[in-house]
Amino acid sequence: MSLTDRTKPTDVCLNTDLYELTMAQGFWESGLADGEACFNAFFRDCPFDGGYAVCCGTGQIADLVENFVFEDDDIAYLAGVQAPGGGPMFKPAFLEYLRNHRLDLTIHAVPEGQVVFGREPMVRVEGPVIDCQLIETALLNLVNFQTLVATKTARVVRAAEGHPVSDFGLRRAQGPDGGLAVARASYIAGASSTSNVLAGKIYGIPVFGTHAHSWVMAFPSELEAFRAFAKSSPKNCVLLLDTYDVHQGIKNAITVAKEMEAAGERLSAVRLDSGDLARLSKEARAAFDEAGLPYVKISVSNDLDEYTIQSLFAQGAPIDSFGVGTKLATCDPQPSLGGVYKLSAVRREKDEPWTPVIKLSEQSYKRTVPGVQRVVRYYDQAGRPTADMLVVDEVARPGEPREMVDILDPYLVHRLSGEPKDLLVEMVRHGERVGEPEGIETARERCREALMRLDPAVARFLNPQTYPVGLELGLADLRSRLAREERAESGRPTV
């Protein structure tokens, strides 16, 4: 996708699925324009067969809401869209309603960098049902992918055991936005830098990069290429060893490192981008140490992910830093979070009580949780999260909850202890941002702390422990009753 195809950077309102607009028109025509709804954005299963995810993208929701305006050219385009059965898809009066319509939404969300688990709301959107639909696709587009990348990065950074990880994924991303999202989310989740210069400019993320194979090939010899790069970038010199033959590359790099020493400079590192990285990194380390160059670091790249990095360390590879590209940017092997946005309550208008609703479907794993939900996270004395409970205040049993029903298994009850805290934070109130925009560094620090406090049994890659997520007992009763009645009547029961 070329950046140049955008007519304007704020073309937010049409970044949506058509059905959001046909539904909006339908609500408007059905006299439900004042009807209010509550939607939750969540994913069902943690990605990568893991035990957790890292929430990301929620810090940009307020921007999205504040910039959501249908301008004249948007309305003109919509006026020209034809219905398959003939005639215009949208009525002129509805388009006039949309023109300069502002979203009157109140949105609570999990702060960026916090860990989250399957089926609990990451974002809760309340307000006019039309507005809730209008923002659905753009919100999912914002949160789904960034949460996936942040989660992937947290895993890669964990595998790297404190060694720096740099995002190299831009060329394999889905256009410039994909690249920016990868850089932003991966930095929040613990990456040290990015190769993406635009992300450096927009977000202030540290940028990193030296030279490619083409640099070496453009000179008559590798040695001349190394010398030229050292001369041009003595303070940022990482030499790539594998253009022709790694062993000759090591020799040439040692020659240049010595020449740099003589000139009062230091070769920062060498990089390996192909071959057996475990063996080659050991050979390079030994050669540099023997040459009296213990400070020259070894960096590697080439289709890395959390598993290859773990394997390299298991083989004793003396690697100092990692460039991770394709598998970070594409979140291989699971390129989609499967995040959804589901209605959980409705009311005829503002200030009326909510009516909780449920979606069933033939597949029980797609069953939703009804009501306007809070998420309460319980922490032990060391500040480590122990359980997350969904609560709908209107149906909650009186008194301090001592147990909850598992969100997937109605026969499984979890005991609760420790200090409860609300997980969702109000980010938008009636269409306006609550508080100041949060810096990316704040989110990054939150993520570092959250991952540090996460139970290692939940964090491990292989067969992680399932973190307890459940329903407050009153909510569990409500869900069970609604599911039975809905199935019986195929219409919404009253509560």
Which residue, 81 or 286, is less far from a second copy as judged by CB?
81
Task: Tell me which of 223, 291, 396, 495 binds a second copy, using CB under 8 A.
Answer: 223
Count interface residues toward a second copy (CB under 8 A): 152
Q: Mark the segment that binds a second copy (CB under 8 A) among 5-13, 284-292, 403-411, 416-424.
A: 5-13
Question: 165 in helix, strand or coil?
Answer: strand
First to last CA, the chain: 48
Work out whether 234 is an interface residue with a second copy (CB under 8 A). yes
Q: Mark the segment that binds a second copy (CB under 8 A) among 107-115, 170-178, 283-291, 432-440.
A: 170-178
Work out whether 135 is an interface residue with a second copy (CB under 8 A). no
Cα 427 to Cα 78, 320, 434, 446, distances in angstroms: 30, 39, 5, 17
Helix axes 18-29, 129-159, angle to 10 degrees: 150
- Please, which residues have CB within 8 angstroms of residue 334's CB and are 6 or more apart in sequence? 47, 48, 148
Site for a second copy in 373-392 (CB under 8 A): none
Token pair recorded at residue 267: 């070769």
Minimum Å gap between C-beta 371 and a second copy is: 13
- Please, which residues have CB within 8 angstroms of residue 332's CB and are 6 or more apart in sequence? 305, 326
Task: Tell me which of 47, 128, 339, 371 binds a second copy, using CB under 8 A.
Answer: 339
β 385-391/469-471 pair status: parallel
Work out whether 257 is an interface residue with a second copy (CB under 8 A). no
Which residue, 141 or 378, is less far from a second copy as judged by CB?
141
Work out whether 146 is an interface residue with a second copy (CB under 8 A). yes
- Please, which residues have CB within 8 angstroms of residue 81's CB and are 6 or more apart in sequence? 18, 88, 89, 90
Minimum Å gap between C-beta 285 and a second copy is: 17
Token pair recorded at residue 254: 């040692």
Task: Tell me which of 275, 292, 383, 410 binds a second copy, using CB under 8 A.
Answer: 275
Site for a second copy in 37-56 (CB under 8 A): 37, 39
The alpha carbon of 426 is separated from its chain's Cα centroid by a whole number of angstroms, namely: 19
| β partners of residue 53 | 116
Task: Tell me which of 162, 235, 400, 463 binds a second copy, using CB under 8 A.
Answer: 235
Which residue, 228 or 413, is less far from a second copy as judged by CB?
228
Work out whether 93 is an interface residue with a second copy (CB under 8 A). no
Task: Tell me which of 113, 121, 178, 385 binds a second copy, using CB under 8 A.
Answer: 178
Site for a second copy in 474-493 (CB under 8 A): 486-487, 489-492
Which residue, 333 or 456, is less far from a second copy as judged by CB?
333
Give dist(CA 399, CA 225) in Å, integer: 73
- Please, which residues have CB within 8 angstroms of residue 88's CB and are 6 or more apart in sequence? 79, 80, 81, 82
Work out whether 308 is an interface residue with a second copy (CB under 8 A). no
- Residues 312-331 vs a second copy: string with x where CB under 8 A? --------------xx-xxx
Backbone angles phi, psi at 128, to 5 degrees: -55, 135
